[in-house]
Amino acid sequence: MDMDLSLMNKEQKKAIKTTEGPLLIMAGAGSGKTRVLTHRIAYLLGEKEVPSRNILAITFTNKAAREMKERVAALVGGGAASMWISTFHSMCVRILRSNINYIGYENSFSILDPTDQKSVIKDILKRRNLDVKQHNPRNIIGYISDKKNQLIKPDQAISEAASYPDTLYSEMYSDYQRILYRNSALDFDDLIMLTIELFDKEPKVLEHYQNRFQYIHVDEYQDTNHAQYRLINQLAKKYRNICVVGDSDQSIYKFRGADITNILNFEDDYPEATVITLEQNYRSSKNILDAANAVIENNTERKPKALRTARDGGPKLQLMVSDSERGEAETIIGNIQSLSDEHSYSDMAVLYRTNAQSRAIEDALVKSNIPYKMVGGMKFYDRKEIKDLMSYLKVILNPNDDISFERIVNTPKRGLGPKTIDKLKAHGQNTGISIFEAIKESDFIGIPKTAVVKLMGLVDLLEGLKHKSRFLTITELVDEVLKHSGYRKMLEGEKSIEATSRLENLEEFKTVTMEFDRDNEISDELLFTFLSDMALVSDQDSVEDDSGVTLMTMHASKGLEFKVVFVVGLEEGIFPSRRVAYDDRELEEERRLMYVALTRAEDRLFLSRANSRMIFGKTESNIQSRFLSEIPETLVEGKEAVGGSASDGMKKRSGKPKRSRVLTNNSGVTFSIGDKVEHKKFGDGIISGIKGEGDSQELDIVFTKAGVKRLLANFAPIEKKE
């Protein structure tokens, strides 16, 4: 086929057509790397006539993998059907599903999520008589994850431990891995570590995948950790047709084990490599790019490059200085509303260093009736009822999954006390069998007859559902579970608002299963595929193009773009964080994060700092971020933000804040206590109180239908009624 590359620049064309041997594409932010990758794959399929089964492409999110599949399909039609385009974890699930028996695991293994991991660690702490308050499970999970990312097994961790905490954590790592093995369960890090172990122990399995994946593509290579690096090099060793795409200036996941040297040392690993740099940016205005370039030039751990654009200068960056985090939030609201005629809410994003900074901004958005979506908050799949349902499905697939089985054994209540469960667990541990198998021997381990009958009823239910699962869609299986387990009946019987909400969430879950069922045929593999897909959902996969302003951390924003971006909290100690005082490499990581935040913006970029800020319960006053000082003054304009100057002026006039009885808002409308008002969403109401000063002033309004609400006077969509 003849591929049209006329819209590509010179470097992009070269990257697409360089198909043989190692290739490093150093792709700057907004330089069209996804377009290059998809066209390169299409070029291999069409011009080079490479069979689709011989091509592998690895991305870091399911969303990116879906988009790449769709783009390749649009270019080549159905010719890409047997090509693997997936995340590292999804790829490893597929490899292990067929081959994990070689290293002693069941092929129907379970995948633990963070909540499951926490349960295992808490159980280990309990057995060791250790206090959860003194030994935070998150820290222990982090330790284990770090060891696995370095491909360090428990025995090696124990032998290398040099202190009491290291010794304790390494022994707990050993306990943890033993429990997972007994449950035929894997955590996320195991998916990669065990694939590497499989390849090391079974050269024929490795050779099979080397022969299959003769052309390998890895996106976001700067974010790979040691284990991912090792896995890719195993697969690429035979044919060496490896194309990695990334940007050393956007390596921001050191805390997750990402190793920037993987991309910086690519030419050492592959001396014959071709290196192509993509510097033409198609996203941001010149002023935004000049600011980003000026900041990142202060780093030393990087490959030199400077982004350029054909777009004109664009608006200058706007500096906002507020008196507090509340003033900062109000200033953001004011700018969002003034830009709402030109841009939709979904065009705008607020980026912060830590999730704790979102509270004041959320409050202001709610009070101003501005829709928003928050990335990285409480996830739908973390809700109790969804976790319970998922645990039923996991046990149906893998009855040896004690972690999930414990969650459902008495949910709904079956009159089984903790002593009964403890006896089953102890018997299972002593005999090396699962709780599910121990139930079948419950007559002989001192469990009362009434409890045995209930337990055997549960076993019969689960075995029946396992048999049915081979012939049902996932939606039908979910209905069977909710009906025959008694879970739906339990919630219907509670007759509470919370129970109604949980039933609604379970119905919402069925929209997920229906979407899955549309794309997948009934088979013995269906439940495994569904549970694997659910386990591999990431924060960014939940980012939808709906109508709200996006709130997210800078880390979560990577790979996304918005017309308007607010970067908040630009103060020393907040961003960059305090850790930079002790480590130059931490400072460079933080500066790369600033670079990522700046380059998310297409047209308008607002930079915000506060003179004081309450965070984690403490009020702090910090000097402005050094990153602001690194941006040339000619690129920035700004003034004291409304939330700061207006309230300061009010304090100077009145001496101290007073409770206001009369208020004139930005539109010139005067409100008093007792006034009747109308709100676009909440309807009719009466003002019962006026609080605060300046632009921080709030109205307490008693609405006829919605009850009492407190709203920001200047930004709430309210009208006075005569």
Residues annotated in a binding site for ATP: 27-34
Q: Is 553 a catalytic residue?
A: no
Which of 11, 189, 219, 347 is an active site residue? 219
**Residue bearing tokens 């090391």:** 200
Q: CA 352 to CA 597: how far, in whole Å?
A: 9
Q: Which of the 8 DSSP states describes residue 348?
A: E
Which of 33, 147, 373, 592 is an active site residue? 33
Cα four-point dihedral sign 336, 342, 345, 351: negative
Which of 113, 116, 220, 290 is an active site residue? 220
Q: Provide φ and ψ at 433, rounded to 5°.
A: -120, 165
Identify whether the C-beta of residue 443 lies closer than 8 Å to the C-beta of residue 452: yes
Q: Is 33 a catalytic residue?
A: yes
Q: CA 677 to CA 116: how far, in whole Å?
A: 50
Q: CA 357 to CA 373: how far, in whole Å?
A: 15
Q: CA 243 to CA 38: how far, in whole Å?
A: 12
Cis-peptide into 576, omega within 30 deg: yes
Q: CA 559 to CA 174: how far, in whole Å?
A: 37
Q: Is 387 a catalytic residue?
A: no
Q: Is 460 a catalytic residue?
A: no
Q: CA 108 to CA 96: how far, in whole Å?
A: 10
User: What are the residues facing 702 on neighbouring strands?
Assistant: 686, 708
Q: Is 664 a catalytic residue?
A: no
Q: CA 144 to CA 136: how far, in whole Å?
A: 13
User: What are the residues facing 84 on neighbouring strands?
Assistant: 56
660: amino acid identity, one letter: S
Q: CA 609 to CA 319: how far, in whole Å?
A: 8
79: amino acid identity, one letter: G
The kind and range of the H/E element at 110 are: strand 110-111
Q: CA 365 to CA 548: how far, in whole Å?
A: 10
Binding residues: 27-34
Cα 515 to Cα 65, 390, 475, distances in angstroms: 17, 17, 9
Q: Concatenated DSSP letters for 243-303?
A: EEEE-GGG---GGGT--THHHHTHHHH-TT-EEEEE-B-SSS-HHHHHHHHHHHTT-SSS-
Q: Which residues contact 33 (CB under 8 A, 6 or more apart)?
A: 25, 27, 219, 245, 278
Cα angle 600-604-607, degrees, rounded to a multiple of 5: 80
Q: Is 600 a catalytic residue?
A: yes
Would you give the distance in Å from CA 305 to the centre of its chain? 29
Q: CA 223 to CA 130: how far, in whole Å?
A: 35
Identify whether the C-beta of residue 543 lies closer than 8 Å to the C-beta of residue 550: yes
Q: CA 441 to CA 445: how far, in whole Å?
A: 7
Residue 70 tokens, joined: 């769709």
Burial 130-163 (b: 16+ CB within 10 A, else e): eeeeebebeebbebbbbbbbbbbebeebeeebee
Active site residues: 33-34, 219-220, 250, 600
